[in-house]
Amino acid sequence: MADVMRSGSAEEPHEAEHHSGAPDDSGEGPRSRKPKNKKKGSFWRELPILIVTALVLTVLIQAFIARVYVIPSQSMEQTLHGCTGCNNDRVLVDKLTYRFSDPKPGDVVVFRGPQPWVQNEFRTEEPSNPVAGFFQGAASLLGFGAPDEKDFVKRVIAVGGQKVECCDAQNRVLVDGKPLNEPYLYWEPGRGVGQEEFKEVTVPPGHLWVMGDNRNDSADSRVQGGGGLNGAVPVDNVIGKAQFIVLPPTRWQGIADPDPQTTALGAPAWQTGVPVGFGVAAAFPTVWLGRRLVGVVSKGRASE
């Protein structure tokens, strides 16, 4: 019994040292413990930042790199679907390609109609409500609204300096006297299979001669502005190259651009596309990088 009492009384001073905050040899006293890291911001707190970042990146991408356009006209059937009552295609238009090169025969391009082009293939109804107008404009900027009524999509047939006319004995368009090979042509039922003839036109330098794949239902260089030289489109009016069908999902595919001025039937040329979701995907690393930069700056200030 005495041994138990002595053993307990001998340990009490050691316990008291711990309670009094005196340092011990273990190095694990209260003063040596590292403070816990601050709790990171929750996902819901960062979600608005991610959304805003994604929207800003999307706007920048569509302004300088690529944009989604609605095809409401059936003049490019069946390469591109666009007609009353059908599910119109939405195509990704690459704006970078023609910063380093010029459009070439076979390219499907989106362009602003030049001044003589007064025959619009579609018309966008402007909402009378200013709030609805704002949201329609925002949707158009993000690639989900209707395109401008003066924007067109056609295929390049001839470029500046070339002579184009229609047609030879086999109903083919001629460029510099040579017949074109056009595997993309579509003859809409009820409109015949004979192309509308037109006299030889020399495409001015810096201009393009464009035509629709639905050859007998397309208001293009043959008729716009009365045809002839007025139908040619300045290269400066080209917005970009249609590269990929992004909607509807059942029609996800690249847009073939075979050169009609070649006689050999080859595979479609190399195609590329800028991901539509790049803005959303880039938002996360952008926000992460921003947080790292803020952290570096904060540490630098703390060390001063």
Query: Would you name the residues annotated as active-site residues?
Result: 75, 154
What are residue 77's phi and psi, to 5 degrees? -60, 145
Distance CA 84, CA 195 (A): 24
Q: What's the start-to-end Cα distance of the chain, in Å? A: 63
CA distances from 170 to 176, 177, 180, 184, 270 (A): 16, 13, 11, 16, 30
Give 56-91 as a DSSP string.
HHHHHHHHHTEEEEE---GGGTTTS---TTS---EE
User: Considering only CA atoms, which of 23, 39, 99 is closest in space to residue 65?
Assistant: 99
Distance CA 207, CA 161 (A): 9
Distance CA 105, CA 208 (A): 9
Asked if 166 contacts 216 with a C-beta cutoff of 8 angstroms, the reply is: no
Structural element, H or E, at residue 281: helix 278-303
